[in-house]
C-alpha cells in the first residue's frame, strides 16, 4: 500500500526555512545553513550533475529518500518563481532541464498552468487543493510511495488532514530564530509520532518517525 513520506531538514529550534523567503533567498535569510551536510555529499552532487563530495553516514539516508517513490508533492514556494499568476515566460523550476525527481511532481498552487514535462521523467503538474494534489500523486505513483517534499505549509496541510504515514527529520545544530516552523498550523490534529530510527552523522541527526 502506498505511503505518504516526508523527508525534511529542520533547525534545532524547529524551522525548515529562514525568514523573508524570496527569489533572492529561496530558503529564507540564513536558510542555506540547514543543508550544508546535504550539499557536501557525493550522492547529492551526483544527483545534481556535480562531481566530488563525501560519503558518510548520511549517504544511505539520502539514498533511501528516493527508494520506492512514484510521485512527489511540493508547494509553490519550493517550485519557485514568486507569487501570483504566470507570465509569458513562466518559471521552470530551480533545477534546470533535468530535475532530480524523475517522477511526476504535483505542485500546489492557486494559479492554473499546463503540465511542464522535463528531461529524465519529471513532469510538473500544477494542482489546486492539497487533497486533490495527494489524490493525483497517489494515482500517478501506481502503488509506490509519494514524497511530500515541502515546504512547511504543504507538510502542515498534510499533517492536519492525517495524510502523512512517515516522517524523517534531519535535525541540524543551527538556530535560525525565525522563518517557517514545521509544526505550526496543524490545528488540533492530535499528532502522535513513534520514533523508529535515529542515525547520527557529521553535522546532522536523522530521526525517523511513524505517524500514528
Identify the residue whose cell numbers are 510511495: 145
Cβ–Cβ < 8 Å for 115, 190: no
DSSP string, 56-103: SHHHHHHHHHTTTEEEEEEEHHHH-S-SSS--SS----SSTTS-S--S
Distance from C-alpha of 131 to C-alpha of 103, rounded to nearest angstrom:
19
DSSP string, 90-133: ----SSTTS-S--SEEEEE-SS----EE-GGG-EEEEESSHHHH
210 assigned to some structural domain: no
Size of the chain in residues:
212
170 assigned to some structural domain: yes
CA 25 vs CA 10, 18, 31, 94, 105: distances in Å? 17, 9, 8, 12, 23
144 assigned to some structural domain: yes
Q: Residue 37: which domain range?
A: 4-84+92-189+199-204
DSSP three-state, residue 41: strand
Burial of 87 (0-12, 13-18, 19+ CB in 10 A): exposed
The structure's pTM equals 0.92
pLDDT in tens, the chain (212 residues): 899 999 999 999 999 999 998 888 889 999 999 999 999 999 999 988 888 999 999 999 999 999 999 999 999 889 987 776 666 678 898 889 999 999 999 999 998 889 999 999 999 999 999 999 999 999 999 999 999 998 999 999 999 999 999 999 999 999 999 999 999 988 776 889 999 999 999 999 999 999 98
Overall number of domains in the chain: 1
In 128-177, the DSSP E strands lie at 145-150, 166-172
| CATH number of the domain enclosing 63 | 3.40.430.10
CA 165 vs CA 3, 15, 40, 95, 110: distances in Å? 6, 21, 29, 27, 26
211 assigned to some structural domain: no
209 assigned to some structural domain: no
212 assigned to some structural domain: no
Q: Are strands 180-181 and 104-108 parallel, antiparallel or unpaired?
A: unpaired
Three cell numbers written together for 164 = 502523512
Amino acid at each position: 500500500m502506498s505511503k505518504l513520506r516526508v523527508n525534511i531538514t529542520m533547525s534545532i529550534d524547529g524551522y525548515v526555512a529562514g525568514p523573508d523567503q524570496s527569489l533572492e533567498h529561496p530558503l529564507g535569510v540564513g536558510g542555506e545553513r540547514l543543508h550544508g551536510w546535504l550539499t557536501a555529499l557525493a550522492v547529492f552532487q551526483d544527483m545534481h550533475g556535480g562531481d566530488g563530495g563525501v560519503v558518510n553516514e548520511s549517504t544511505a539516508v539520502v539514498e533511501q529518500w528516493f527508494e520506492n517513490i512514484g510521485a512527489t508533492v511540493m508547494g509553490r514556494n519550493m517550485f519557485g518563481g514568486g507569487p501570483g499568476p504566470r507570465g509569458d515566460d513562466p518559471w521552470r523550476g530551480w533545477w534546470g532541464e533535468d530535475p532530480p525527481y524523475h517522477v511526476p511532481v504535483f505542485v500546489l498552487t492557486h494559479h492554473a498552468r499546463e503540465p511542464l514535462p522535463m528531461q529524465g521523467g519529471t513532469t510538473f503538474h500544477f494542482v489546486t487543493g492539497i487533497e486533490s494534489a495527494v489524490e493525483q500523486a497517489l494515482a500517478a505513483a501506481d502503488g509506490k510511495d509519494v514524497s511530500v517534499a515541502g515546504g512547511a505549509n504543504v507538510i502542515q496541510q498534510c499533517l492536519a488532514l492525517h495524510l502523512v504515514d512517515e516522517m524523517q527529520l534531519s535535525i541540524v545544530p543551527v538556530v535560525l530564530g525565525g522563518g517557517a516552523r514545521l509544526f505550526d498550523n496543524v490545528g488540533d490534529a492530535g499528532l502522535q509520532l513513534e520514533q523508529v530510527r535515529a542515525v547520527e552523522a557529521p553535522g546532522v541527526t536523522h530521526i525517523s518517525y511513524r505517524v500514528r
